[in-house]
Amino acid sequence: MDIRRMNRAAILMLFLIIAVPAQAGRIQEELQTTQELRSLAFLTCANALVYFNQNGSPYELRNKQGYEQRMLRLRSLAKSLGVADVIDEVQRLQTRLDDTDKLPQTSVALRSTEPSYSRRLLPVIESHAHLQALLDTHYAQLQGDEPLGELGKLHAISRAMGELLVNYQIASFNRLGAETWILRDEKTHQLDHEVIDAFERLSAGHPALTEALEHAAREYSFVRGVILKQDGNWAPNGAERYMRSTITEVDQIARGLLQ
């Protein structure tokens, strides 16, 4: 009897040794998927705004193709995540993006009409914000009370940059009527400080990541002056391009930690 009990205890211990790391790995993978969804949503919203923004170079086909391709990826990743509310909101975002096809798609068409940007683009911004809130909630539930490790800190950097990017695109868009969605200056500078501080701490504390992080940090440093200087000299296309590159690079570094 004692031997059988010992065998059961040994089997249970072996199960725990195998199961606990496996469960932790699944949670990390789901956290990464959730973060990639957040990044895709930020970039999709930013691409849509850049495409119509008269303060930049509007109607560039690559921006329209960008948000259409990212929506396909968003829908696929949302299904793999399996959170019903997220799937529904992604579909709602798709519907609202489809509705922007009713806006002028060329400079010639723009001159012959008075487009209702508020009517067509505000629903995109609102749906995107709701989707981010759902993803943030899911991420927090997965993370629980665990302190942020390397993965979580990289996710925090990427999310902050995404928020800064969309905020800049909204602020730079005339006649949008989206003032309530623009961050206060204090919040903008807080996010910027969090990004810079996290880059520095991760580089100093994790030598294996230093080279990749320093490259991403340099890219962010190059564009942050544009993102923070909202004085009417807008550069929505350039801001989108450099921030997209940096966000994607940080997400790739995070994905590499799971390999």
Q: What is the pLDDT of residue 19?
A: 45
Q: Which residue, 130, 132, 127, is CA-closest to 39?
A: 132
Q: What is the pLDDT of residue 5?
A: 61
Q: What is the pLDDT of residue 8?
A: 62
pTM: 0.90
Dihedral pair phi/psi, residue 104, rounded to 5° = -55, 140
Domain residues of the chain, as ranges? 31-257
Residue 86 near residue 135, CB atoms below 8 Å: yes
> Whole-number mean pLDDT of the chain?
91
DSSP SS3 for 190? helix
Determine the average pLDDT of the residues in 158-173.
98
Q: What is the pLDDT of residue 174?
A: 92
